[in-house]
A and B are shown apart, each in its own frame.
Chain A
Amino acid sequence: MIKVEGVSKRYGSTRAVRNISFEVRRGEIVGFLGPNGAGKTTTMRILTGFLPPTEGRAIVAGYDVSEDPLEVKKRIGYLPENPPVYPEMDVEGYLRFVARLKGVPSSEIPSRLENALDRVSIGHVRSKLIGKLSKGYRQRVGLAQALIHSPDVLVLDEPTVGLDPKQIIEVRELIKSLAGEHTIILSTHILSEVASTCNRIIIINEGEIEASDTPANLTARMQGGESTEIEVDGPAADVERTLAALEGVERVTRNEDANGHASFTVDATTGAAIRAELARAVVNAGWGLHGMRSAGMSLEDIFLKLTTEDHEDLRQAENLAHGHQFHTLPAAQPSDDAAEEEKGEAQE
């Protein structure tokens, strides 16, 4: 449905988007994830034909965005970061205007209007001035505007920004309900949002795609099994050795805080439940067990890892995901890599 090939966008000397390529199949919900200024909005604006790309091609619903912009625009519904609403118009008048603008035949406008109002449940404010509505409602009017011509592709730039938690859930449900008949691209910097709504995540950072996969695969890729953080009062070296010897433990990493307290991150092989074992081992050895918590790598961690570290670290993270052990590797690697790795660990 959407095919982006080597798209770059330059503003003067700064490159907002560098050589991005990806594909989205019909009916998919794809989430763009990235910190502010990563190039999400620019990418979306290129897709919607608002901005011409400096290089590369973007094809939406079979039409090239640069060559047939009008055909593409007919098939796209776009909700920019700030809903493009006219505060001095009432909701219904505004939606009628957008419907006409998007080329909806006038005989169909009433039914499309009702449908859109219904979809985002704003029927009860239909005759209110948009300027008098709260941010949440304005956002919904923005969504209704994107939906009104029932486009093949929906591009939503941060659709839940500024909404209260209840509205956020509603909007997410709405987005999910739209999947299938519409292909959806949404951007966000909220990770739980992509995790809960998207089939696929594309992580963008500094204008480049860092990763593109399903939420589950991304999590799995970055992290082998379950990892547990444990705080033990005892001789650190002994503790480390004891814990590493337990069955199901793949790796033990020692983290010392500024006060000299040691805590350990214990990675288990996939599927092993090791917490009870860990506790027993610590208690049996006569050490004090101060705390234990799951340190499972959340999407947040993955995101931070991908967007704050450089590519060397990324590769290491991938190695890690494939079962290599950090602590045995440095000897086999060039020394500057080892230094990088130390740094990476310190950051964690």
Chain B
Amino acid sequence: MSNVLTIARRELQVYFSSPIAYIVLAMFGVIFGFFFYSAVAFFQTFSAQAAMNPGMAPPLNVNQFIIEPTLGNFTIILLFLAPMITMRLFAEEQRQGTIELLLTSPVSDYEIILGKWLGAMLLYACMLTVSLINFAVLFYFTTPDWRALAVGYLGVLLVGGALLAIGEFISTLTKNQIVAGALTFGVFLLLWVLDWVNQYSTTMVGKVCSYLAFPPHLQQFTKGVLELKDVVYYVSVIVLGLFLSKRSLESIRWKA
């Protein structure tokens, strides 16, 4: 476990001693802020209209109108930023030859993989912290249901974990960061749009595709509903990503 922390700590150190962390956090802060502002502005117009026309309005709810859409859109940003976080994880080590240091140190492959994933997750947690500033404002002026928000954040954390695990795996496949980044983005995008199949296909294939896609599983979380099947989905994607990374790391040894 201490090895995992050693590696995670170094990863975090690298993110923060290079521009990566600052760019990612700043971009995220701006874009998320805009999403949040849009949701608030829309909510404001909508409630103004509802005040004039009481018949059309459903019960107005901050959770439903602000928290749910903002967290739902959250993953769009993640789609772009997660590859930037993960593409260097192993590609850089392979290019620099530092992978030899890791693989000849008394650390197991899983410790290396978990350490790197944890490092990426911690940076991601920093992103989440940045986003919390927006909701702090919300809590200052109104009283949304904090439990629903917490569940929403849990969902967002899980989506991030899953994407970072897949990204980590892809990063073990190549020495080239750009290749890793592009490939990761492609895979994320595909997983993102995969549930479109559900709209024109009612067969088994359609159901499977829609189950494999990321967004449908997040919907329940952002509503504040904690469902076991969604948790299982994300956790299994994380485990799968880490497992594939482990196999791929083994093959680095064979190929080297």
Binding site for B on A (CB under 8 A): 45, 48-52, 70-71, 73-74, 76, 78, 80-89, 93, 97-98, 100-103, 145
* Interface residue B103 (Cβ < 8 Å from any Cβ of A): yes
Partner of A89, one of B7, B13, B105, B107: B13
Q: Do A86 and B96 touch across chains, with their CB atoms under 8 A apart?
A: yes
Chain A residues in 8 Å Cβ range of B13: 89, 93
**Smallest CB separation, B58 vs chain A (Å):** 53
Q: Do B18 and A88 touch across chains, with their CB atoms under 8 A apart?
A: yes
* Interface residue B256 (Cβ < 8 Å from any Cβ of A): yes
* Interface residue B10 (Cβ < 8 Å from any Cβ of A): yes
Q: Do A84 and B97 touch across chains, with their CB atoms under 8 A apart?
A: yes
Q: Do B104 and A89 touch across chains, with their CB atoms under 8 A apart?
A: no
- In the complex, the chain A residue whose C-beta lies closest to that of B105 is A101
7 interchain residue pairs of minimum CB distance: A84-B101, A73-B106, A100-B6, A84-B98, A74-B106, A48-B104, A82-B97
Partner of B101, one of A51, A88, A93, A145: A145
- In the complex, the chain B residue whose C-beta lies closest to that of A98 is B101
* Interface residue B227 (Cβ < 8 Å from any Cβ of A): no
**Could you tell me the dominant secondary structure of chain B's interface residues?**
helix
Alpha-carbon distance A70/B10, docked complex (angstroms): 21
Partner of A97, one of B10, B17, B108: B10
Given contacts A70-B106, A80-B97, contact A52 B253 (CB under 8 A): yes
Given contacts A87-B96, A102-B105, contact A97 B253 (CB under 8 A): no
Partner of A73, one of B96, B97, B105, B254: B105
Q: Do B254 and A52 touch across chains, with their CB atoms under 8 A apart?
A: yes
Q: Do A101 and B14 touch across chains, with their CB atoms under 8 A apart?
A: no
Chain A residues in 8 Å Cβ range of B107: 70, 73, 101
* Interface residue B100 (Cβ < 8 Å from any Cβ of A): yes
Chain B residues in 8 Å Cβ range of A70: 106-108
Alpha-carbon distance A70/B112, docked complex (angstroms): 13
- In the complex, the chain A residue whose C-beta lies closest to that of B107 is A101
Q: 24 A-B Cβ contacts within 8 A?
A: A45-B100, A45-B256, A50-B100, A50-B104, A50-B256, A51-B256, A52-B254, A70-B107, A74-B106, A76-B104, A78-B100, A80-B97, A80-B100, A83-B97, A84-B98, A84-B100, A85-B98, A88-B14, A88-B17, A88-B18, A89-B13, A89-B14, A98-B105, A102-B106
**Smallest CB separation, A19 vs chain B (Å):** 20
| Given A50-B100, A73-B105; 4 other pairs, CB 8 A cutoff | A84-B100, A88-B18, A98-B105, A102-B105
Given contacts A84-B98, A88-B17, contact A50 B253 (CB under 8 A): yes
Binding site for A on B (CB under 8 A): 2-3, 6-7, 9-10, 13-14, 17-18, 96-108, 253-254, 256
Given contacts A50-B256, A51-B253, contact A97 B105 (CB under 8 A): no
Chain B residues in 8 Å Cβ range of A82: 96-97
Chain B residues in 8 Å Cβ range of A52: 253-254
Alpha-carbon distance A71/B106, docked complex (angstroms): 7
Q: Do B17 and A89 touch across chains, with their CB atoms under 8 A apart?
A: yes
**Smallest CB separation, B100 vs chain A (Å):** 5
Chain B residues in 8 Å Cβ range of A49: 103-104
Alpha-carbon distance A74/B105, docked complex (angstroms): 7
**Smallest CB separation, B31 vs chain A (Å):** 26
**Smallest CB separation, A144 vs chain B (Å):** 12
Chain B residues in 8 Å Cβ range of A85: 96, 98
Alpha-carbon distance A12/B256, docked complex (angstroms): 12
**Smallest CB separation, B20 vs chain A (Å):** 10
Partner of B14, one of A50, A73, A86, A98: A86
Alpha-carbon distance A49/B103, docked complex (angstroms): 8
Q: Do A78 and B106 touch across chains, with their CB atoms under 8 A apart?
A: no
Chain B residues in 8 Å Cβ range of A100: 2-3, 6
**Smallest CB separation, B3 vs chain A (Å):** 7
Chain A residues in 8 Å Cβ range of B7: 101
Alpha-carbon distance A73/B111, docked complex (angstroms): 15
**Smallest CB separation, A210 vs chain B (Å):** 25
Most chain B beta-carbon neighbours within 10 Å: one of A84, A87, A98 = A84
